[in-house]
C-alpha cells in the first residue's frame, strides 16, 4: 500500500459527529472527484470515480447516512496499471437536487456553485473535514523517507483559491500551480504537512512523518560530520606531505643532527607518523606539545631551511610558509 493510500485509509475511518462537518466532507469529495450531469429542469445525476477503495466506501457511507440516496457501485480493474477503479453512480432521483443544494454544490437559482461552500465552513471542524474530503478525493502525499510533498488536484480556479484560503485558516501555507487545465494545491514544508495531517485527522500518519524527519535529521547530521572530518583529514594529509618535504630539505641543507632538540623531535615524530594531525602529533611528543607549539616548530624549521637555502643559492625563491605548514 502506498503512503497516500495509508493516509486515506486512516482518514476514511474517522466519523465526525457534527453534521456540518459531515456535509463539508461529502461536499468536497463530490466536488473534487465527481461529475455532475443534468437533463431538464431539476434532473441531475452524479458519477464519482476513484482508485481508492477507502474513498469509495466513505462516499457511499456518507451519502446513505446523510441523504439516503440510491447509489450503484462498479469495480473495474485496469489491465495496464493493474489497479482497481471504483465508479459510484447516483442516478436521477427526487432527493438528489435537494442534497446538492444542501451540500452547496448547487447554488439556488444559479446552477453549479463555483467556489468553496462558505456556508458549511463556519467552524474549524467543518473546515478540517472539507480539506479532508478534498485530499481523499484528489490528494497525493509522497513517502516521507524521500521528499516532503503533498498536493491536491482540483478543477476550477475559484474553488482552488478558496481551498488554499481554507487551508490557511488551519495554519497551513499552501501554494497553487496551474497544471494541464487543472490546479495543483501543494505543500512542501515538513511542518505544514504535519499540521495538515493532524488537522485532517491523520494523527498516526503524522507521527510516521515526524519519525521520518527525525531519521533524516540524524542522517544529515552524520553526513555533515563525516564530510567535515574527511575535509579535515584531507587538509591534514596535505599539510603532512608538505612538512615531510620540508624535513627532507632540512636534512639536505642543515642536517637533522644540527637542529635544536625540539625540532629534531618534531622531524622524527612526523616521519614516524605521517598520517597524524598537528594535534595528534603533539600528543606523541615527549613532553606533549599543543597544536600551537607544534605549529611554531614547523615555522621555525621553515625559517632555518630557507636561510640555509638562501646562503647556498642567493637567487633561490623563498617558498611560501603555508605550503609547508598547511594546517593551522
State pLDDT tens for residues 178-207: 988 789 999 999 999 999 999 999 999 999
Bond preceding residue 287 cis, omega within 30 of 0: yes
Integer Rg of the chain from CA: 36
Residue 94: the pLDDT is 87
Mean pLDDT rounded to a whole number for the chain:
88
- pLDDT digits 0-9 by tens, 113-160: 889 999 999 999 999 999 999 999 999 999 998 889 999 999 999 999
Residue 110: the pLDDT is 63
Q: What is the pTM of this model?
A: 0.70
Residue 102: the pLDDT is 94
Residue 225: the pLDDT is 87
Q: Please indicate whether residue 195 or residue 83 has the higher confidence score (pLDDT).
A: 195
Q: Is the confidence at residue 322, as pLDDT, over 50?
A: no
* Angle (CA) 107 120 98, round 5°: 45
* Average of per-residue pLDDT across 26-34: 95
* Average of per-residue pLDDT across 241-252: 90
- Cα within 13 Å of Cα(18), Cβ side: 15
Cell of 163: 481551498
Residue 213's pLDDT band, with cuts at 50, 70 and 90, is confident
Q: Please tell me the distance from the alpha carbon of residue 252 to that of residue 255, in angstroms, as a whole number.
A: 6
Q: Please tell me the distance from the alpha carbon of residue 108 to that of residue 36, in angstroms, as a whole number.
A: 16
Q: Are strands 111-112 and 83-90 parallel, antiparallel or unpaired?
A: unpaired
Residue 319's pLDDT band, with cuts at 50, 70 and 90, is very low
Taking the CB of residue 195, how many other CB atoms lie within 10 A of it? 18
Cell of 256: 637533522
Q: Is the confidence at residue 317, as pLDDT, over 50?
A: no
Q: Please indicate whether residue 229 or residue 17 has the higher confidence score (pLDDT).
A: 17
How many residues appear in the chain?
328
Q: Please tell me the distance from the alpha carbon of residue 249 to that of residue 166, in angstroms, as a whole number.
A: 75
Q: Is 178 exposed, middle or buried (0-12, 13-18, 19+ CB in 10 A)?
A: exposed
Amino acid at each position: 500500500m502506498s503512503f497516500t493510500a495509508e493516509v486515506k485509509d486512516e482518514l476514511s475511518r474517522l466519523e465526525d459527529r457534527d453534521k456540518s462537518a459531515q456535509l463539508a466532507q461529502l461536499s468536497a469529495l463530490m466536488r473534487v472527484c465527481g461529475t455532475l450531469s443534468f437533463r431538464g429542469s431539476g434532473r441531475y445525476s452524479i458519477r464519482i470515480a476513484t482508485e481508492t477503495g477507502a474513498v469509495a466506501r466513505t462516499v457511499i457511507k456518507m451519502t446513505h447516512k446523510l441523504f439516503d440516496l440510491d447509489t450503484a457501485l462498479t469495480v473495474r480493474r485496469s489491465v495496464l496499471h493493474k489497479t482497481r477503479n471504483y465508479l459510484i453512480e447516483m442516478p436521477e432521483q427526487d432527493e438528489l437536487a435537494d442534497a446538492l443544494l444542501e451540500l452547496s454544490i448547487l447554488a439556488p437559482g444559479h446552477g453549479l456553485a463555483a467556489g468553496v461552500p462558505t456556508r458549511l465552513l463556519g467552524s474549524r471542524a467543518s473546515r478540517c473535514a472539507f480539506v479532508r474530503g478534498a485530499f481523499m478525493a484528489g490528494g497525493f502525499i509522497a513517502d516521507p523517507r524521500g521528499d516532503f510533498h503533498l498536493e491536491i488536484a482540483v478543477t476550477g480556479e475559484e474553488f482552488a483559491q478558496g481551498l488554499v484560503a481554507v487551508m490557511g485558516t488551519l495554519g497551513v501555507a499552501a501554494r497553487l500551480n496551474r497544471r494541464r487545465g487543472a490546479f495543483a494545491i501543494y505543500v512542501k514544508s515538513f511542518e505544514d504537512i504535519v499540521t495538515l495531517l493532524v488537522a485532517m485527522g491523520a494523527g498516526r500518519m503524522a507521527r510516521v512523518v515526524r519519525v521520518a524527519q527525525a531519521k533524516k535529521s540524524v542522517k544529515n547530521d552524520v553526513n555533515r560530520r563525516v564530510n567535515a572530518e574527511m575535509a579535515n583529514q584531507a587538509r591534514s594529509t596535505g599539510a603532512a606531505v608538505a612538512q615531510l618535504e620540508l624535513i627532507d630539505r632540512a636534512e639536505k641543507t642543515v642536517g637533522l643532527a644540527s637542529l635544536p632538540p625540539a625540532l629534531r623531535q618534531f622531524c622524527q615524530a612526523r616521519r614516524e607518523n605521517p598520517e597524524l594531525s598537528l594535534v595528534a602529533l603533539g600528543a606523541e611528543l615527549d613532553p606533549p606539545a599543543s597544536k600551537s607549539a607544534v605549529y611554531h616548530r614547523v615555522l621555525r624549521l621553515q625559517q632555518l631551511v630557507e636561510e640555509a637555502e638562501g646562503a647556498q643559492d642567493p637567487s633561490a625563491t623563498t617558498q611560501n610558509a603555508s605550503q609547508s605548514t598547511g594546517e593551522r
